[in-house]
């Protein structure tokens, strides 16, 4: 017999399915047309936008289910600026040096891609005080960014990157990008992080961290359609993610594929496994949204049948020397908060 939490969790899954079938899957839908979305645009779909102050640690009774890495701990392991400049001539050179007329031809996604790449290096690669070279390079894969330097050594938490997440929740329920619409509505999840901590045989953190590249600029006080769509796609996928034992990822005698591939080729096999988070009712997501030379943080969760999205102000990364790399890094390697809102 299903518990009350399971019943509520299933109701939220139905609500998320309704939202993606209305606002994500159809090429034409009520939120696609506006350049930016007002609170009035969102209200009919029970989507509520709130402010998100990322410059202060949330109160213990806050609805924000992430805590940033404490500033004091971050300061002890700040980037070794002198070594970073010596090792990498492009340190703090975020954008290629090209004629201004060429830059004017770039789409917002080009700028967003450069900011994303540099922020990932800020978190994963640049030398930090109190971290040995051995620890640094053990945690560094130049292609896949498998283990974050800040996360693995400094934050001290078990944190998996989208390239080694098992099982990938997007197999049945959506994609990591959407390029079907006009360019300004396109989005691309460049990285997706999750916690791998389990209590017994059960995963305990449904929290996701998304690094999402948009192809538009943003405006304070408004959401972009691509932000709504990428949040909904990921939350829906997470809600329907199955919990597959590691042993079941090995090939069966009749299989000619291994691991996740056998589920990708035969997704109906997933149906026999329980939901990974069968009693979860919030499905919290922290997103860094890259919008041209700006970026902001969004925190989203389900509150019964309402999608709540907290939105920080826009921060400029146009001038690398004064951009808030550290502020964003502290949140991106922060700690998930257990429990619902």
What are the start-end ranges of the H helices in the chain? 4-23, 39-42, 71-76, 81-87, 100-103, 108-124, 133-138, 149, 225-239, 261-265, 325-332
Instruction: Establish if 204 belongs to a structural domain.
Output: yes
Average confidence score pLDDT of the chain? 82
CA distances from 79 to 54, 125, 129, 144, 330 (A): 21, 10, 6, 21, 13
Average pLDDT score over residue span 200-204: 83
CA distances from 327 to 17, 43, 83 (A): 34, 31, 21
Res 86: pLDDT: 85
Cα Rg of the chain, angstroms: 20
Q: pLDDT by residue (tens digit) across 280-332?
A: 999 999 999 999 999 999 999 999 999 999 999 999 999 998 999 999 999 99
Q: pLDDT by residue (tens digit) across 181-190?
A: 888 899 998 8
- As a dihedral over the C-alpha atoms of residue 175, residue 310, residue 192, residue 323, rounded to 10 degrees, the angle is 120
Contact 302, 235 (CB under 8 A): yes
Instruction: Establish if 254 belongs to a structural domain.
Output: no
Instruction: Establish if 341 belongs to a structural domain.
Output: no
Q: pLDDT by residue (tens digit) across 43-101?
A: 999 999 999 999 999 998 999 999 998 888 888 888 888 888 888 777 778 887 767 76
Residue 340 has pLDDT above 50, yes or no: yes
Instruction: Establish if 251 belongs to a structural domain.
Output: no
Domain that holds residue 71: 4-245+259-336
For residues 191 and 148, give the distance between their C-alpha atoms in angstroms, rounded to a whole number: 12
Instruction: Establish if 250 belongs to a structural domain.
Output: no
Query: How many domains does the chain contain in total?
Result: 1
Residue 128 dihedral angles phi and psi, to the nearest 5° = -125, 150
In percent, how much of the chain has pLDDT > 90? 46
Res 2: pLDDT: 84
Quick one: which H or E segment has residue 285? strand 285-291
Res 72: pLDDT: 86
Instruction: Establish if 310 belongs to a structural domain.
Output: yes
Predicted model pTM: 0.87
Helices 4-23 + 225-239 axis angle, to 10: 140
Q: Token digits for 43?
A: 């209200």
- Band (pLDDT 50/70/90 cuts) for residue 159 is very low
Looking at per-residue pLDDT, the higher value among 312 and 199 belongs to: 312
Report DSSP state, residue 239.
H
Instruction: Establish if 252 belongs to a structural domain.
Output: no
Q: Which of 44-58, 169-183, 217-231 has the lowest mean pLDDT?
A: 169-183
Which one of 191-200, 262-271, 276-285, 332-341 scores highest in mean pLDDT? Answer: 276-285
Closest CA to 292 of 308, 314, 268, 267: 314
């Amino acid at each position: 017999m299903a518990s009350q939490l399971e019943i509520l969790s299933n109701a939220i899954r139905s609500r998320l399915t309704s939202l993606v079938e209305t606002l994500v899957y159809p090429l034409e839908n009520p939120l696609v047309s506006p350049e930016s979305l007002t609170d009035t645009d969102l209200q009919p779909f029970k989507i509520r936008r709130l402010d998100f102050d990322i410059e202060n640690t949330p109160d213990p009774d806050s609805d924000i289910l992430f805590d940033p890495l404490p500033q004091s701990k971050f300061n002890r392991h700040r980037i070794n600026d002198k070594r970073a400049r010596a090792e990498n001539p492009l340190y703090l050179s975020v954008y290629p040096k090209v004629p201004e007329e060429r830059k004017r031809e770039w789409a917002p996604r080009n700028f967003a891609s450069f900011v994303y790449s540099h922020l990932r290096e800020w978190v994963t690669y640049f030398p930090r005080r109190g971290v040995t070279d051995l620890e640094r390079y053990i945690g560094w894969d130049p292609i896949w960014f498998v283990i974050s330097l800040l996360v693995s050594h400094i934050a001290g938490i078990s944190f998996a990157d989208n390239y080694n997440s098992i099982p990938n929740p997007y197999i049945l329920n959506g994609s990591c990008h959407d390029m079907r619409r006009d360019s300004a509505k396109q989005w691309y999840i460049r990285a997706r992080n999750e916690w791998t901590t389990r209590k017994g045989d059960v995963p305990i953190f449904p929290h996701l961290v998304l690094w999402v590249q948009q192809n538009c600029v943003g405006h304070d006080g408004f959401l972009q359609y691509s932000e709504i769509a990428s949040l909904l796609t990921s939350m829906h996928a997470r809600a329907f993610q199955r919990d597959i034992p590691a042993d079941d990822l090995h090939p069966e005698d009749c299989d000619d594929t291994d691991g996740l591939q056998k589920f990708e080729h035969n997704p109906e096999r997933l149906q026999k496994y329980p939901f990974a988070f069968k009693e979860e009712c919030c499905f919290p997501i922290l997103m860094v949204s890259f919008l041209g030379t700006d970026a902001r943080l969004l925190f989203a969760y389900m509150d019964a049948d309402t999608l709540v999205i907290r939105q920080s102000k826009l921060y400029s990364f146009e001038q690398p020397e004064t951009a808030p790399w550290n502020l964003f890094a502290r949140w991106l390697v922060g700690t998930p908060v257990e429990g619902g809102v």
